[in-house]
Structure 1
Amino acid sequence: MKRIAVLTSGGDAPGMNAAIRAVVRSGYYHGLEVYGVYRGYTGLIQGDIEKMELGTVGDIIHRGGTVLYSSRCEEFKTEEGRQKAVEQLKKHQIDGLVVIGGDGSFQGAKKLTALGFPTIGVPGTIDNDIPATDFTIGFDTAVNTVVECIDKIRDTATSHERTYIVEVMGRDAGDIALWAGLADGAESILIPEAPYQIDEIVERLQRSSERGKKHSIIIVAEGVGSGMDVADKITDRLGWETRVTVLGHVQRGGSPTAFDRVLASRMGAKAVELLLSGQRDMMVAIRNNDVIGIDFDEALSQKHQPRMELYDLAKILSI
């Protein structure tokens, strides 16, 4: 193996640049040439591939987003599109590929290996919804962003004695809502993995009000539904004035935390190590603080589950 390439695909996540940097510099440390594929699988099909140098990835470890840009590519979902991608890799004499992204990106990476091209996945998504790894790159930063926003919202909620509903991202996973809600002492946390009863939420609000509490924060994961719908149900039952904040894509941006920078650096370097050892159909994961390689089949066949003991703890502490 003499040449490898790296691309980022799907939604961007803070720490992707740190992972790119790790792939490039680890590759050169081991005597490889490293190429960057711009705009994900779209760029791969179009041959938007350039050689990267050590200096190319200088001063990016602290930057959010991805310097390689990202996209979602419908053409790559076709057999013809994937064949074009492999042809471009062969044209540039690339021997192995590192794909940084989420589960959709990994499905594409697995299909490349089925065509005989060695590919390693690095989990980069704020949703933390990749099975088989304790954390994904970008999750910690997103949670910290949400916590910072909720801290500010709580100031206003306290001043105006209101109930605030905060809708956060996470797609079909509740990890962001769960971790941020526990960190911020939210009165209720609604996640798709634990169906909620609006009557229970109303009862908790009433109980808090009776003991003198004049404001509340409720976190709603987008996979549950609209924060506005939850607010309307509370208003219908209690007649309280509520406010809704949808944090949106602010959660994807910002400088990555130290945790995400270290995680991304370890995972990027591990991806290069796996390619050099002859692996061709794996993703990188962190388990019990060890960075390891896992077969795509094993990883993608599992179903992601948040740490429900944290959900139970949050309910206990917000009594």
Structure 2
Amino acid sequence: MEKLCWPDGKSFVFTVFDDTDLAVPGNFEKVYECLRDYGLHTTKSVWPIRGSQNSKIGGATCEDPAYLAYIRELRRDGFEIGFHGATYHSSERPDIAHSLERFRELFGSYPRTMANHASSAENIYWGDARLSGIRRQAYKLLHLKRLHFYGHCEESPYFWGDLCRDRIDYVRNFITGDINTMKTYPRMPYYDPERPFVKQWFSSSEGPKVDSFVRTISEANQDRLEAEGGACIMYTHFAAGFQDTNGNLNRRFRELIKRLASKNGWFVPVATFLDYVRQQRGEHVIDSTERARMERQWIKHKIQTGGSS
């Protein structure tokens, strides 16, 4: 595949999609202060509405005034606000529709990017539905107590596939252990005809907690990303250990972000980066061969590392 040239003579791309799990006022802001100080603009997801059930994982929603005020501040400062589902537990269609309208009211438009949340029943094309053919059957055999997801199932009360297709541009799927996300998944973003309720899929690199994140963006990996002229979308939860209970930012994380920012990188939110790729290459529709290759890559990563998503 023809190598892309990045805008303004930049050598590589680096961004982050931050799942909002665990995030409450006081446990994640130092991360964004660091990113802002060094000129890195990334994507912070939210839950627009408060749930009616107890949260198993924890985290604030946009109904928390202090949390919402900070999220709006991030948006004003050039960060993208993404969608991580309606709230912190499974939601049926009316609540999902309400949450998308609430998102638009709060931020002026529907979310451009999203990621499925943990075990929420409305997750779209999740669990074994991420895979095809024999790989799907193998996944089922390996997950005998597997969860079920219904966001794409039109007969289900959890169905919202048409809303996803009509409101959201990019949905996250496969993960890689390589910092150069596009090296493993060079066709992203892409449309999958077998999964028509998603406009475009994107992938990301492993880093759900601070230890795995800093491992992926190590000095050697940064240098390789730059040398390859690659593009990285990190998958993470910035409320998962990046900032301690005293409000101190992880020192290793700060060091690596400072080093990364000193390089000639293009540091933009996820949707901005994916829009650029589409503008340069045009729309890409994957075929069965490409789909099989990506699925094998993801399964291999899961087996080797126990990847969390």
TM normalised by structure 1 equals: 0.31
TM normalised by structure 2 equals: 0.32
Structure with the higher fraction of residues in helix conformation:
1
Structure of greater Rg:
1
Structure with the higher fraction of residues in strand conformation:
1
